[in-house]
Structure 1
Amino acid sequence: METLRPIVAASDRKMDGSFSLSTVQPGKLRIIASGFDARPMSYMDEGRRLGYEPATARAVCEKLGLEPVWYDFPLDKFYSQLSSGQYDVVWFSQPVTQKRRAWADFTRAYGRFDVAVLVRDESTIEAVEDLKEVRLGASADSTELDLINQLPDLEIVEFPGSDRLLPEMIEALQAKTIDAVLDDALLLLAVEAMNPDLRVAFEISTQMPFGIGVVPGNRELLDALNYGLNQLIAEGTLAKLWTQWIPYKPCPF
């Protein structure tokens, strides 16, 4: 594995509580993300980046005196791009796992989420035990695949981590080349709301923490981001953003 070197030089808390940060581009936080529709977490609307994650990123950056700047990549390129030294963080629906900890240090969680199974409306699938011998679509780079060993015998259809990952899985489900999709519950609930021919069959409680990935060794930036998140939680701002974008789920903080 290529050695990742810190690209943020220093972060000092001043007497007034502000931070002096040296990032790849002074005064800016260069964020690796994706432009695909992952609402309510993140999506594009007429050139504007909306959703819970962009709103949280803007609020944290305001605390730290930084301007967030997003750069879109396929999901499977996130950590190779982070190791290039051209970007500061990965901030796009990243469950914190041991595999990802090999490539990045992670902040405290800004969200905890479950997974779900999406099916066609006429499907008879209602629970885990109904998945036996089902063709189940999932991301090849997804933490959801860790659940597969706990599920009944089924055929896994892996989809590469492209910038059309979710649309490709939905298209395959509607075309009946797969029978179900396993993914983040919030994303699939949004898909259900926009597609009357699809429904969420059931959710699996995982409460997986989502965090911001920082190049290993960049302790100053990591601490600064944690400070920003902790401030948002303490003052109730994070709960307000959660309620704005995810009103149908209780805020975990």
Structure 2
Amino acid sequence: MKLLSTRAFLKTAGLITVGLVIAACGKKEEAAPAAQAPASAPPPPPPAKVVVVGTDAAYAPFELQNEKGEIVGLTIDVVNAIAKKAGFEVKFVNTPWEGIFNSLQQGDRDMLASSITITDERKQTMDFTNPYFDAFQLIAVKENSKVAKFDDLKKLKVGVQTGTTGDEVVTKLLGKNSTNVKRFESTPLALKELESGGVDAVVADNGVVINYVTNNPAAKFKTVSDKAFVPEQYGFAVKKGNTELLEKLNKGLAEIKADGTYDQIYAKYFGAAPAAAAPAASAASK
């Protein structure tokens, strides 16, 4: 038998070794399937949008603070019901009336819900929802007053809340520069002034006046209505062009009116649904 030379033997052994290594590597690659990436969890839903709502909480029974400091009232209940239907959260911020419109324009508030009357002048700088409350104004005087109509106020001292439509109509009646127009930060303050004799009458929201008179019998007030007062309506205000929020509010408002929620809220504060309560609870506006 012929023996291989040392060089031939090493060459042959080397080739065999390389072949085994290649074969082993091939088997290893075939045996190890590609690792699959773990299934990614679905992304969490985006956090609910919190809508910051400005309200002047000194206008019972629409917007006020209870004994715990919480902002409550008919307007607040309506906004909460709308938000629940529309799927967003709300945060109410007590905002003085005199600066409430600026807070919306500057972006500090997303919407305003504060018994705001829808007027053509206000529509120029903000957008309004459909109305959520029908309104007109009412005169409050002492029981022994001889005031029987709006014109009787021409020579009297009249209290109003600054910047309201009550302020506007009284200013128009008495004159722009009349010193008999007495302006206050809130309607309750004006009514307190009437109680102490500082003014002869107050022109304000019927709902607010009725609420005050009912809860302060010792003040001995009476109310006087006048057909000269033009019916008005409350709406929620949003920044000009904020159509997304406006559409949500209108949709939610329509739904709570359709399913009876609005009537329940109204009856909670005025004792009956709107149609039945209208003669006693019609309101004027800010």
TM-score, normalised with respect to structure 1 = 0.80
Structure 1 residue 229: deviation in Å?
Answer: 0.5
Structure 1 residue 131: deviation in Å?
Answer: 2.3
Q: Highest Rg: 1 or 2?
A: 2
SS in 2 for 1:79: helix
- Tell me what 2:243 maps to: 219
Indicate if the aligned counterparts of 1:95 and 1:211 stay in contact, CA closer than 8 A.
Answer: yes
More helix by share: 2
Distance in 2, matches of 1:181 and 1:148, equals 10
Counterpart AA for 1:247: G
- 1:1-253 equivalences in 2 (<5 Å): 26-36=48-58, 38-45=59-66, 46-148=68-170, 151=173, 156-160=180-184, 162=185, 165-196=186-217, 197-204=219-226, 205-247=229-271, 250-251=274-275
SS in 2 for 1:206: coil
Distance in 2, matches of 1:126 and 1:177, equals 20
Cα offsets for 1:47-104 (capped at 9, x unmatched): 3322110110110000111122111121010111111223210111100112222321
Indicate if the aligned counterparts of 1:104 and 1:213 stay in contact, CA closer than 8 A.
Answer: yes
Say which is worse superposed, 126-135 or 95-104, in terms of deviation: 126-135
SS in 2 for 1:212: strand
Distance in 2, matches of 1:156 and 1:207, equals 25
Aligned residues: 225
User: Compared with structure 1, are the counterparts of its residues 248 and 40 closer, same or farther at alpha carbon in structure 2 (3 Å cutoff)?
Assistant: farther
More strand by share: 1
Counterpart AA for 1:127: K
Structure 1 residue 157: deviation in Å?
Answer: 1.7
Structure 1 residue 149: deviation in Å?
Answer: 7.0
Distance in 2, matches of 1:116 and 1:54, equals 23
Aligned alpha-carbon RMSD (Å): 2.4
Distance in 1, matches of 2:174 and 2:100, equals 31
SS in 1 for 2:231: strand
Indicate if the aligned counterparts of 1:105 and 1:216 stay in contact, CA closer than 8 A.
Answer: yes
Name structure 2 gaps, 5 residues minimum.
Answer: 1-45, 279-286
TM-score, normalised with respect to structure 2 = 0.72
> Percent sequence identity over matched residues?
22
Name structure 1 gaps, 5 residues minimum.
Answer: 1-21
